[in-house]
Chains A and B, each alone.
Chain A
Amino acid sequence: DSGVTQTPKHLITATGQRVTLRCSPRSGDLSVYWYQQSLDQGLQFLIQYYNGEERAKGNILERFSAQQFPDLHSELNLSSLELGDSALYFCASSVGVAGGDPSSEQYFGPGTRLTVT
């Protein structure tokens, strides 16, 4: 158990709908990351927050948005869903900021499997 929790575990919804994925980081971790994993695209970095502020942005679509709240939990909002959005969405957390910080080891949650029909 990494200490990172994600809800829900599974989500089935229809095209055009909007969903919210939730992540609670490990206690003490200030950074939260969101990733999308699909069979054809592999693990794609979406966005990172550090202590409530957006820190880095990756291949996140304009239909997607995220935020980190004062209690450090984070939500990823996916709207106008398309079939191609079906994937595993992982949240990870770390003490520091990934990259140039040696305390940037990321702990991943179990993921949310999103199926868009």
Chain B
Amino acid sequence: LAKTTQPISMDSYEGQEVNITCSHNNIATNDYITWYQQFPSQGPRFIIQGYKTKVTNEVASLFIPADRKSSTLSLPRVSLSDTAVYYCLVGDGSSNTGKLIFGQGTTLQVKP
């Protein structure tokens, strides 16, 4: 079974860059890696998605090494409103059933 590992929590200050890494040791070969943000009592919200190398959008960047066994979400210049839980989502490469696996989530606390 594929396993994803993220740090449980991280602290940062406003204006800093935050990097959150997710390890996924058995990702499905053809699957994309997706990151979501979740606020309390709300559903997760899409941040960014990539297959390999680097992807950038208006809110984040995603770095994926060639072996695709990990991915790093980069949030530039965080603000207090970025305080949330961040999840990676990958396809399970061990079962080839289309099963999806969320990381356990990283709680980011941004301080003033």
- B-contacting residues of A (Cβ < 8 Å)? 2, 4, 33, 35, 42-45, 48, 55-58, 90, 92, 97-102, 104-111
> Is the beta-carbon distance between A99 and B32 smaller than 8 angstroms?
yes
- Chain B interface size band reads 20 to 34
Instruction: Point out which of B87, B99, B101, B104 has the most chain A C-beta atoms below 10 A from its C-beta.
Output: B99
> Is the beta-carbon distance between A57 and B97 smaller than 8 angstroms?
yes
Q: Which residues of B contact A4 (CB under 8 A)?
A: 43
Q: Which residues of B contact A110 (CB under 8 A)?
A: 42-43
Instruction: Point out which of B34, B44, B104 has the most chain A C-beta atoms below 10 A from its C-beta.
Output: B44
Min CB distance A92 to B, Å, is 7
Please name the residue on chain A nearest to B47 by beta carbon.
Answer: A105
Min CB distance A109 to B, Å, is 6
Instruction: Point out which of B42, B98, B105 has the most chain A C-beta atoms below 10 A from its C-beta.
Output: B98
> Is the beta-carbon distance between B104 and A106 smaller than 8 angstroms?
no
Min CB distance B92 to A, Å, is 8
